[in-house]
Amino acid sequence: MTKKIAVLAGDGIGQEIMDQAIKVLKAMNLDLTFEEGLVGGVAYAATGHPLPEKTLKLAKESDAVLFGAVGDFKYDHLERSLRPEQAILGLRKALGLFVNLRPAICYPELTNASTLKPEVVSGLDLLIVRELTGDVYFGKPRGRRQCPDGPFEGALEGFDTMRYSVPEIERIAHVAFKAAMGRSKHLTSVDKANVLETSQVWRDVMTRISKEYPEVEFDQMYVDNAAMQLVRAPKKLDVLVTGNLFGDILSDEAAMLTGSIGMLASAALNDRKQGLYEPSHGSAPDIAGKNIANPIAQILSAAMMLRYSLDMPEKALQIENAVKKVLAQGYRTVDIWSEGCKKVSCSEMGDAVKAAL
């Protein structure tokens, strides 16, 4: 049966990197249809909202969403509900995309691109499982009010609510333990249970669920320690599971271990295998339109889409192998370029991956 893909390129470099991913997918002659939708700042400019009804409808009706990036300095002055970032948060919530898979892989050819010592990162292959629809990101109440007590009573304060319910933790726990079962059977849960009640509930649930996976070596770390271990000895970690806020921060940190955020894909999934696939990096408005962005994260996001939402694991592998091949052939966009390699543009990189299929 033909599968429908919603193509939401968004802002900044979104369109140019998306073009490369679509080029690669089309070259594979898969039974897919593509429908484009407006999202982010470009959607705001055209319709007055970063996530127009029409786009939301398209996303809901599709088997998967291939997402580029959103955000641009020129929209930073808008009230929060109209900012481009709200489009991605709105899609996550509306589609119930509670699982965020963020692999951090250090490709051998790019070991020197990391700011860390090669021996610390070479061969790194880490998976962060981030809960994506709960936590302080969506907790209510939130807003601004007069400080109710203490030395600053009466002053304006901003506040948000960190929260997780037991069933929300249980479902992400099962996803993470299953992911660990499919890899090296080692899972680390990250929280801040020494301070936060939300984290204590998280830890209690994780501990209980761990009993159902006796084969998995399970440990728990406070987030400050996890941040440190990630740069000290990242290869001692394999799968990390954590809440929305800590996952946001740690996944950027993990990305830098690989030296190249332009290489990292991510998947956001719901319980129906519907997913949104996007590069881990942002919209990079400073280099937009110059045809120099690295399209590999977007291309690898398309591969993840084939694997997790469209049941085409061998096709996913075909793309991933093509990417490895172009790296081995020495093709590099400027962000990952080093002496002796072939410097290519965004579209040339797309062509190279297509040719390597």
Decide whether 85 or 109 has the Cβ nearer to ligand IPM: 85
Contact stretch for ligand IPM (CB under 6 A) within 48-56, 84-92, 118-126, 211-219: 84-92
Reference 125, options 240, 279, 215; nearest CA is 240
> What residue 136 binds from ligand IPM, Mg ion, none (CB within 5 to 8 A, per partner kind)?
none
Annotated active-site residue in 4, 23, 160, 248: 248
Active site residue 248: yes
Written as one string, the DSSP assignment of 283-339 is: --GGGTTSS-S--HHHHHHHHHHHHHTSS-HHHHHHHHHHHHHHHHTTEE-GGG--T
Which single residue brings its beta carbon nearest to ligand IPM?
Answer: 85
> Which residue in 102, 1, 91 sits closest to 51, CA to CA?
91
* Residue 170 near which of Mg ion, ligand IPM, none (CB within 5-8 Å, type-dependent): none
85 lines the binding site for ligand IPM (CB under 6 A): yes
Can 277 be counted among the known catalytic residues? no
In the bound state with ligand IPM, the residue whose beta carbon lies nearer, of 136 and 341, is: 136
Identify what 157 binds: ligand IPM, Mg ion, none; CB under 5 to 8 Å per kind. Answer: none
Residue of 192, 308, 331, 354 with catalytic role: 192
- Tell me the β-bridge partners of 156: 146
Kindly state whether residue 248 participates in binding ligand IPM, applying the rule CB under 6 A.
yes
Q: Nearest to residue 173, comparing CAs of 243, 228, 262? A: 243
Q: Which stretch binds ligand IPM (CB under 6 A): 82-90, 217-225, 255-263, 286-294?
A: 82-90
Amino acid at 277: Y
Window 100 to 129, contacts with Mg ion (CB under 5 A):
none
Q: How buried is 271 (Cβ within 10 angstroms: 0-12 exposed, 13-18 middle, 19+ buried)?
A: exposed
The Cα–Cα gap between 122 and 320 comes to 18
- The answer to whether 252 is a known catalytic residue is yes
Size of the site for Mg ion (CB under 5 A): 1
The one-character DSSP state at 353 is H
Residue selected from 109, 217, 248, 348 as contacting Mg ion according to rule CB under 5 A: 248
- 87-126 residues in contact with ligand IPM (CB under 6 A) are 88-89
Tokens of 156: 């304006």
**Catalytic annotation on 224?**
yes
Does 151 sit behind a cis peptide bond, omega within 30 degrees of 0 on the bond before it?
A: no
> Of these residues, 76, 219, 224, 311, which one is catalytic?
224
CA 102 to chain centre: 5
Site string for ligand IPM, 195-234 (x = CB under 6 A): ----------------------------------------
Q: Cα–Cα distance between 240 and 27 in angstroms, integer?
A: 35
Q: Which stretch binds ligand IPM (CB under 6 A): 83-91, 223-231, 269-277, 327-335?
A: 83-91
Q: Establish whether 137 is a catalytic residue.
A: yes
Return the number of the residue (102 or 315) whose C-beta is nearest ligand IPM: 102
Angle among Cα 234, 221, 140 to the nearest 5 degrees reads 115
- Residues contacting 94, CB < 8 A, separation 6+: 56, 59, 60
CB of 247 to Mg ion, least distance (A): 9
Question: Among 252, 324, 325, 343, which one carries the catalytic annotation?
Answer: 252
Binding status of residue 253 toward ligand IPM by CB under 6 A: no
**Strands, E assignment, the chain:** 3-10, 32-36, 64-69, 99-105, 125-131, 143-146, 156-159, 186-191, 217-222, 239-242, 265-269, 275-279, 331-332, 342-343
Q: Which parts of this chain interact with ligand IPM (CB under 6 A)?
A: 85, 88-89, 248
| Residues carrying an active site annotation | 137, 192, 224, 248, 252
- Give me the residues that bind Mg ion (CB under 5 A), please: 248
